[in-house]
Amino acid sequence: MTRVCLVGDPEVNLQYELLSRETSREALATYDLERPFENSLAVRTVSVGAAISLLNDLDWYLTRFVDEALVREPSVSGTEWLSRSLADELRNGVLEADDTGEFCKIYGLERPDTDPNDDEDGTDGDPTDASRTRPRLVEPLYVRRTDGDLPEYDLRDVAETLVVRLTEAEYSP
C-alpha cells in the first residue's frame, strides 16, 4: 500500500484545518487517519495514482496549511519517502523507480522528552496530550546520493532521520 503523509505548517493545527472543512473532510472520509509525526496526517492508498489523486483533491488545503506532502511507495523504497512532485513524475511515467534515488533531503527526527509521570505511551492519559510523543521533523539537509550512499545528517544531534527523495528541480544544495 502507498502511504501519503501531510506535514502541517507549524503555525496551524493541520488535523483541525483539514477536518473542519467539508471538502477536505469528505476527501479523507474513506481513509483511516494516522498521525506519524507532530502536526501531521497520514493515510494508506492503493497506489501512487490514488495518492496523487488524493493530493490533487486536497490541493487548495495543501497550499494553505501543509509544509510537506510525502508519498511512500513500497515498490520504490520501503523506508524512503517521495516528494509529491517526484511521485507525480513516477505516476506519469516521466521517471522510473530506479531513477529516483539521487536527489534527497534528510530530516532529523526529534523526539520530545518524556515525563516520568506519563503512561507507557508517553502521555498522562489525556488524549489531547498524545502529540507530545510523536517525533517532529526538523531542519532538512539537502544531499546527493553518491555510489549508493547518502551523507550522514549532521545539522543536529538526532537518533533517527527521514529520507525524502526529490526531483532534480526540487534539489537545492
Tell me: the pLDDT tens digits for 84-102? 999 999 999 999 999 999 9
Q: How does DSSP assign 79-141, residue by residue?
A: S-EEEHHHHHHHHTTSS-GGGSSSEEEEEEEEPPPPPTTS-TTSS-S-GGGGGGGS-EEEEEE
Q: What is the pLDDT of residues 46-87, one digit of tens each?
A: 999 999 999 999 999 999 999 999 999 999 999 999 999 999
Please tell me the predicted confidence (pLDDT) of residue 102: 94
Q: Give the chain's mean pLDDT.
A: 89
Binning pLDDT at 50, 70 and 90, where does residue 114 land? low
Q: Where are the domains of the chain?
A: 2-100, 104-165
pLDDT at 112: 81
